[in-house]
Amino acid sequence: MTIIESCGRESVPVGRRAASKDFDLVILTNTCLTPPHIRKCVLHVKTRYPYARTLVLSGYSPKDFVADLREKGIDGFLTLPYQEESLLLEIAWLLSTPKVPT
């Protein structure tokens, strides 16, 4: 398993350096990204890595925002703040289910 941590604009070069690798899971959070940037990142991940699962962690969770992300193909959503156990269970569930590209 490869874990790459990056934030905001720094994420772009990190993503480019890691582009030769396949991702099983990408976690996006609005700690560093605004909701419009999260939407763009989801579309980018789904285009470049169709088998990667996408989990969004956000304190911003109006129904239309979450519904829009689900339409764009996210696999999971947790509202901030979350319990560590909830995050671990969500990751375990996402990685244990077969992924069909969206």
Tokens representing residue 38 in the block: 């999260």
Each residue of 8-66: pLDDT tens digit?
555 554 455 555 566 788 888 877 777 888 888 888 888 888 888 889 988 877 888 88
Domain borders along the chain are 23-96
pTM for the full predicted model: 0.78
> Tens digit of pLDDT for each residue in 74-99?
999 998 888 999 999 999 999 998 87
Choices 2.60.40.10, 2.40.30.10, 3.30.360.10, 3.40.50.2300: CATH for 23-96? 3.40.50.2300
